[in-house]
Amino acid sequence: MTLSALTVEGISKRFGKTYALSDVGFDVAEGELVVILGAAGAGKTTTLRTIAGLEVPDSGRIVVKGRDVTNLEPKDRNLAMIFDNLALYPNKSGFDNIAHPLRVRKQPPASIEARVTSVAATLRVSHVLNRLPATMSGGERQRVALGRALVREPDLFLLDEPLSSLDAMLRIELRSELKRMQREHGYAFLLATPDYVEALAIADRVVMLISGAVRQIAPPQVLYDDPVDRDVARFVGAPEINLLRADYDPAEGGRIRLADAILPLPPLQRQRLGDVGRSFQAGLRPEHIRLSAPDGATASVTDVEALGLQSVVTFETSGAVLRAVLPATEGRRLRIGDRVGLSVNLERMVGFESQSGRRIA
Ligand SMILES: Nc1ncnc2c1ncn2[C@@H]1O[C@H](COP(=O)(O)OP(=O)(O)OP(=O)(O)O)[C@@H](O)[C@H]1O
């Protein structure tokens, strides 16, 4: 059996009248990178701070490498927490910033020297070790801050939106750096972000937090293809998933009415919907909508946004608005006001109960 780097069991936390966390539970395996994904105020920071020991949970347990740390001081938990406001000591060199945690622990100078040099090489900041933070680029500062956390070899890294203050290029670079370190050294990471694209890029698994509660735990692609409900479906993916009223009629092998089109349903979807007619909400990802011959469902083009290799095209049909991601070669040919035929990949449709938003499975 592999030991979990972290197990969070039923953590709840209230601030006055605000329930910040309700019965939050998940685990992080050794060598795994787990992302806590959620909107602003979902409880990401509170979760990380509770694990780090900076907040005391009202109930629940935190176990790090098999050791119950719920009642331990932060310094005794052997965790490294990296916040988004990577505060470096402004008057200390890169070297001294990274060395700081080891000096606090009174390690011998020779081993400090060796460890800092090796961490700096891993993070590609050897060239700034003699410089002060003010003379470093944003990315270099971020990596030195990361180095200061790495140098201690903690059991688990907690990162709170560590990349949010970086520009897009640096973010991508540092993201792959984190992933590489995790793979090469087998570190366990728990990283919080509101950015689904970031989660998709680096997470082994995602813990989706909504209003302080865990809604779904899954690899990022599963969250996208198989969301447990409408909230998760809407949070992941840009442009957002299309939601359309659908009316299901089980007669004649099963058909649905979507906007003004009546379409035969693939067998898997029929199985999901059962043999009683009903209305529901159909979720269709923008890449599952295609142009087709204008003999079936038609729609008019209301917007075309060119995004390099792809275009995001907005259509209107019988009062419904649909967004599709099309190859740029197709998008370029469309003009606002054009009437075109559309086809949808119903195999990939996800159905939600209209009221509750729960997935129809
Ligand atoms: N010290 C506190 N006192 C009162 N309420 C708090 C405190 N800390 C957090 N909260 C509340 O708890 C909820 C969760 O906050 P938290 O900071 O964990 O969210 P988050 O997901 O990290 O958001 P963001 O992405 O904006 O950082 C919010 O409603 C927040 O206002």
Q: What is the strand order of the sheet 18-29 is part of?
A: 18-29, 4-15, 59-64, 67-68
* Contact yes or no for 300/249 (Cβ under 8 A): no
If you average pLDDT over every residue of the chain, what do you get?
90
Q: Check residue 165 and give its pLDDT.
A: 65
Q: Check residue 82 and give its pLDDT.
A: 78
pLDDT band for position 127 (50/70/90)? very high
Task: For the chain, give the percent of residues with pLDDT over 90.
Answer: 65
Q: Which amino acid is at 57?
A: P
pLDDT band for position 248 (50/70/90)? very high
Cα 260 to Cα 137, 257, 276, 324, 347: the distances in Å are 55, 7, 21, 17, 19
Q: Closest Cα partner for 302 from 322, 286, 288?
A: 322
Closest Cα to atom 24, ligand 1: which residue? 40
The pLDDT tens digits for 266-319 are 988 998 888 889 999 999 999 999 998 776 678 999 999 998 899 999 999 887
Q: Check residue 282 and give its pLDDT.
A: 95
Q: Which atom of ligand 1 is nearest to the CA of 43?
A: 18
Q: Check residue 140 and give its pLDDT.
A: 87
Q: Which amino acid is at 193?
A: T
Query: Which residue out of 12, 46, 55 has the highest number of ligand 1 atoms within 8 Å of its CB and is therefore the one to mutate?
Result: 46
Q: Check residue 86 and give its pLDDT.
A: 65
CA of 45 to the centre of ligand 1 (A): 7
The domains found in the chain, sorted by start residue, are: 4-228 (3.40.50.300), 242-352 (2.40.50.140)
Pocket residues for ligand 1 (CB within 6 Å)?
A: 15, 18, 20, 38, 40-46, 194
Query: Which residue out of 11, 15, 36 has the highest number of ligand 1 atoms within 8 Å of its CB and is therefore the one to mutate?
Result: 15
Q: Check residue 1 and give its pLDDT.
A: 54
CA of 13 to the centre of ligand 1 (A): 11
Which residues make beta-bridge pairs with 313? 304, 324
Closest Cα to atom 18, ligand 1: which residue? 43
- The C-alpha atoms of residue 349 and residue 197 are separated, in whole angstroms, by 21
Can you give the pTM of this predicted structure? 0.88
